[in-house]
Chains A and B, each alone.
Chain A
Amino acid sequence: LAKTTQPISMDSYEGQEVNITCSHNNIATNDYITWYQQFPSQGPRFIIQGYKTKVTNEVASLFIPADRKSSTLSLPRVSLSDTAVYYCLRDTGRRALTFGSGTRLQVQP
């Protein structure tokens, strides 16, 4: 199983930066790290993906250190609408994506 470990829940306030760290000690050479966001009653939505160093898009940044055993999703200036479950996955390529329990982020006003 492509297992990752991330906090069960996090709390934040509007306007703050949120960093969610994911551990993937047994990551394979060809694996990518992919993050999904899920709102209640919706399917998971792709946020960002990376292999190493830093990737940034209009939604988030993803930091992956040189050893690739962990990664950090950074959400700048969160708002109430960022309240969701965030999943960190190892993407092995031709196999299916395995979801863990994710991190439940609660943003308070």
Chain B
Amino acid sequence: DAGVIQSPRHEVTEMGQEVTLRCKPISGHNSLFWYRQTMMRGLELLIYFNNNVPIDDSGMPEDRFSAKMPNASFSTLKIQPSEPRDSAVYFCASRILPGQGNPAFFGQGTRLTVV
């Protein structure tokens, strides 16, 4: 298996532009997570899905952020409009439910820079 695949690996955009990050979970995994990592705040959970259904989006910073999982093999995280403070590394992870005994596997991340 290729693991969790995220694209793009790097994204540089101007403030105010729309940004879409993509994630392909490991085949057969039915739980998917989006995290954001910065030096100041560490690794923060943004949202997670179980069986394609959003379970907890309380970590989404504000309405500018939205996430979708239209099917079991694809998820997107969209920021519109983007701001410089959104600059961070965004990670996607997936695992098999139920979670106990089944670890999560992370993608390589997308490094987002908003100028």
With a cutoff of 8 Å between Cβ atoms, the chain B residues found around residue A93 in the complex are 98-100
Please state if B33 and A46 are interface contacts (CB–CB under 8 Å).
no
Q: Which of A46, A100, A101 contacts B104 (CB 8 A)?
A: A46
Which residues B23-56 have CB closer than 8 A to chain A? 31, 33, 35, 42-43, 45, 48, 50, 55-56
User: Whole-angstrom distance between the alpha carbons of A97 and B105 in the complex?
Assistant: 11
When distances are taken between beta carbons in the complex, the residues of chain A under 8 Å from B43 are 44, 87, 99
> For this complex, into which size category does the number of interface residues on chain B fall?
20 to 34
**How many A-B contacts if CB must be within 8 Å?**
64
Q: Evaluate contact between A91 and B100: CB separation under 8 angstroms.
A: yes
Q: Which residues of B contact A96 (CB under 8 A)?
A: 33, 45, 48, 55-56
* Min C-beta distance of B52 to chain A, whole Å: 14
CB-CB under 8 A from A42, the residues of chain B are 108-109
A107 to chain B, nearest CB (A): 21
- Whole-angstrom distance between the Cβ of A106 and the nearest chain B Cβ: 17
Q: Point out residues on B near A: beta carbons under 8 Å.
A: 4, 31, 33, 35, 42-43, 45, 48, 50, 55-56, 89, 91, 93, 97-101, 103-109, 111
